[in-house]
Chain A
């Protein structure tokens, strides 16, 4: 295994975790419309109890995504988290609020009442996907930062910091870029599409399933419009490429070239998009079909995986700097050492085993769909 192979491999693992995270945002999507899906307090509780059995998976995937990125591409971890401080802090805040909201909302002794925690779940349901989608968009659009490793040995500075954000907004500037918002909102609506499909599959309730179909249509139309717009945008835009010497330069239609040169990514993307559309359309058209979360979920993973790999493979700078082109991060200049990547390669062989037990436990819990009766009598309900 060469360093080059390992860098590609770890890029794949991180992208896969990112893709799984986007799929698991169905938790946020369903929470963002729990009110309209559930309508009554009882209906809302059904939705929260349904997503409440999966939220920790989303959360854990986010944490593992961060950990895997740290281990394999520490310069990204250092540059992006330390630079885009406010963007990441906002993401963290919403996820922290979500983490306690399930357990606390309907417990006796909750001094502040259930509404505030339901508000937190809605807030996380919208802001979480928006900001995470926005963060992914910066992989295409670029961010405003400098990296200068030699500062570590610059005797004149008080603190030898190797990277800094080039403006005082520390990451919030990304939200001023309209394309970042386009992808951000595309992810918000995708999360809502997946959320509607998930609760329709997971909850055995006529009312929720009927309303879910309506919500699904309402989310699918803006999602498709925004997603197609963004896809066309990245195919037409200039991209950040680097040569064998590691010198970064702008290449017209770089991402289009990537999809042509890495045709297999185009195939994955196409299959992904078709599966997502199939899951949506069949659910809308067929009154008795509730399994749309599976094709749409798998489709989401494939689509996001192809998009993320397109930002990094094929001599592409995955975290471009708009402040200083040569500060841009590439797989080659930001990865861990060969030794660490190889060691972590062996650890990553556990991933299929982890996925297998998650699938087994998920199946065991979801064999019986959630009903109102279960929520009334269950030993542990939210």
Chain B
């Protein structure tokens, strides 16, 4: 056996930082692609149905902005896919049998659709029929949305691994049900919540740009701004309500399969029945609270029964806190969750049983040259039995200290509140705009409202990114929930190499972002002509 040097822990942090950086940058561009994609497709449909060239000009204007943003989404997206291999090579092997499939399907089914028809959308106005062009625009949006489906299937599987079984002979997890993976309830929720919330970002963008034209009293863009604002607000209201409903469902699922994430989101140290929902608390955003000693987060304002209803759909449902999960508790259905200490011990037992099994097979082969892989013998069964009994906690065997099992609470707590708070604000904002439209009020003269629309644009991005922070930070220390921690997923690359690529990516993405924003602003200033 070849023994490798253990890699330095800093390499894990840098690998995480690099992935987070790429994902956060990528997520600046994807929601706009999905959201503006939908809105520009609606506008071109109006052109197709009415033949009015106003809608053609309007659709082309939004497609120009879509194009600037789309390029950045593509550029940052490719790195994410390859980073699974470059920075998380152990992970890529351990679950590649399951995780690779959605990524390949995403390429075959979604990316080709997107990249083929986006070219027709850009360059085909004078070359193909109106119907073909409209279909191409919708297919571009559909391709982006299908792509979201498959990557979210992959991500959901990391949050809630289903449809797989560990194979001790190949030393990896293997898929047993494609449908369980592809249609996992966690994936369905995540898809709808993510895509619908992206429509909110697109809607806020369209409303903000339109508001700017109205503020500047640009005559050439006045009609476009009014009509775009209306479509944006309708899409925005439907989407922000939809995001709230799907978000609620997501939280319910998290309570079921990732209770530690929910406890971190709520800064709930000690759980109980009839649990109230924290509206806000003065939690230090920069340091991990002393959850073992403190009763609850300081200056906490709470909504009675809120968390029990959110997590269990009943007023008196039991919601475990961080300490309950670490010490062990009994679930509502009577299942007993062992303590972290026991899980770690059983995880170590599983790893040792697996090592023993591998050694037995290797010794057997060395002794008589026979290869018993795939054949069942009593001696093998005995060793596998111990593995099977403890397999559920295999990943815990790599955990050195139970404090590792608690994600960084402040990020989860605050990001969750920012997301929910801003999401609720969007519902009110879009509803108010549509109300004003219904009452035939002159929005163009309401300067404060137009300014607010512009101010809400960065808030939409913050809201969207906060959602990702909750989803990903809340899963820590796991790459795959309860199965594989980050420390066992990483590649054997020195921290200095990963740190270097981190800074290079940061420099590259930031420069590209600055140029992109500058081009976007100039295009908006230039207007429809």
Whether the pair B60, A379 counts as a contact (CB closer than 8 A) is yes
B396 on the interface (CB 8 Å rule)?
no
From the candidates A67, A103, A159, A168, name the one contacting B100 in the complex (CB within 8 A): A67
Whether the pair B493, A85 counts as a contact (CB closer than 8 A) is yes
- Cα distance A284–B460 when bound, in Å? 56
Q: Which residues of B contact A79 (CB under 8 A)?
A: 89, 93
Whether the pair A96, B109 counts as a contact (CB closer than 8 A) is no
- Cα distance A362–B111 when bound, in Å? 16
B504 on the interface (CB 8 Å rule)?
yes
Whether the pair B100, A82 counts as a contact (CB closer than 8 A) is no
Min C-beta distance of B77 to chain A, whole Å: 8
Whether the pair B85, A80 counts as a contact (CB closer than 8 A) is yes
Q: Which residues of B contact A109 (CB under 8 A)?
A: 515, 518-523
- Interface residue count on the A side (C-beta < 8 Å): 90
Whether the pair A56, B74 counts as a contact (CB closer than 8 A) is yes
Min C-beta distance of B61 to chain A, whole Å: 10
Q: Assuming the A-B contacts A99-B71, A104-B71, A380-B64, are A361 and B78 also in contact, with contact meaning beta carbons closer than 8 angstroms in the complex? A: no
CB closest chain-B residue, reference A108: B522
Whether the pair B107, A365 counts as a contact (CB closer than 8 A) is no
Chain A positions 301-357 with a Cβ under 8 Å from a chain B Cβ: 324, 336-337, 339-340, 343-344, 347-348, 350-351, 354, 357
CB closest chain-A residue, reference B362: A150
Q: Assuming the A-B contacts A64-B107, A112-B515, A365-B127, are A99 and B92 also in contact, with contact meaning beta carbons closer than 8 angstroms in the complex? A: no
Q: Which residues of A contact B514 (CB under 8 A)?
A: 111
Whether the pair A152, B171 counts as a contact (CB closer than 8 A) is yes
* One of B114-122, B205-213, B318-326 contacting the partner: B114-122
A157 on the interface (CB 8 Å rule)?
yes
- Cα distance A59–B79 when bound, in Å? 12
B258 on the interface (CB 8 Å rule)?
no
* One of B190-198, B221-229, B348-356, B407-415 contacting the partner: B348-356
Whether the pair B125, A340 counts as a contact (CB closer than 8 A) is no
Q: Which residues of B contact A255 (CB under 8 A)?
A: none
Chain A positions 127-159 with a Cβ under 8 Å from a chain B Cβ: 146, 148-159
From the candidates B71, B108, B171, B494, name the one contacting A354 in the complex (CB within 8 A): B108
Whether the pair B67, A103 counts as a contact (CB closer than 8 A) is yes
B183 on the interface (CB 8 Å rule)?
no
- Cα distance A92–B509 when bound, in Å? 13
- Cα distance A343–B516 when bound, in Å? 40
Whether the pair A368, B127 counts as a contact (CB closer than 8 A) is yes
From the candidates A64, A88, A93, A153, name the one contacting B358 in the complex (CB within 8 A): A153
* One of A32-40, A70-78, A180-188, A189-197 contacting the partner: A70-78
Q: Assuming the A-B contacts A111-B518, A358-B116, are A82 and B1 also in contact, with contact meaning beta carbons closer than 8 angstroms in the complex? A: no
Whether the pair A100, B75 counts as a contact (CB closer than 8 A) is yes
A8 on the interface (CB 8 Å rule)?
no
Whether the pair A88, B82 counts as a contact (CB closer than 8 A) is yes
Whether the pair A164, B492 counts as a contact (CB closer than 8 A) is yes
Q: Which residues of B contact A343 (CB under 8 A)?
A: 101, 175, 178
From the candidates B77, B92, B355, B501, name the one contacting A81 in the complex (CB within 8 A): B92
From the candidates B89, B116, B178, B355, name the one contacting A161 in the complex (CB within 8 A): B89
B230-246 interface mask toward A, CB cutoff 8 Å, 1 = contact, 0 = none?
A: 00000000000000000
Whether the pair B86, A81 counts as a contact (CB closer than 8 A) is yes
From the candidates B2, B72, B93, B136, name the one contacting A146 in the complex (CB within 8 A): B2
- Cα distance A211–B105 when bound, in Å? 41
Min C-beta distance of A328 to chain B, whole Å: 14
Q: Which residues of A contact B82 (CB under 8 A)?
A: 66, 81, 88, 92
Q: Assuming the A-B contacts A67-B103, A160-B488, A379-B60, are A82 and B76 also in contact, with contact meaning beta carbons closer than 8 angstroms in the complex? A: no
Q: Assuming the A-B contacts A108-B519, A148-B2, are A60 and B398 also in contact, with contact meaning beta carbons closer than 8 angstroms in the complex? A: no
Q: Assuming the A-B contacts A70-B92, A150-B358, A164-B4, are A337 and B174 also in contact, with contact meaning beta carbons closer than 8 angstroms in the complex? A: yes
From the candidates B125, B167, B504, B519, name the one contacting A107 in the complex (CB within 8 A): B519
- Cα distance A53–B67 when bound, in Å? 13
B334 on the interface (CB 8 Å rule)?
no
A125 on the interface (CB 8 Å rule)?
no
Min C-beta distance of A321 to chain B, whole Å: 11
Whether the pair B101, A344 counts as a contact (CB closer than 8 A) is yes
B306 on the interface (CB 8 Å rule)?
no
Min C-beta distance of B68 to chain A, whole Å: 6
- Cα distance A203–B501 when bound, in Å? 39
A266 on the interface (CB 8 Å rule)?
no
- Cα distance A99–B78 when bound, in Å? 10
A161-178 interface mask toward B, CB cutoff 8 Å, 1 = contact, 0 = none?
A: 111110010100000000
Whether the pair A63, B81 counts as a contact (CB closer than 8 A) is yes
Q: Which residues of A contact B497 (CB under 8 A)?
A: 85-86, 170
Query: 4 smallest A-B Cβ distances: which pairs?
Result: A74-B96, A82-B89, A81-B85, A109-B522
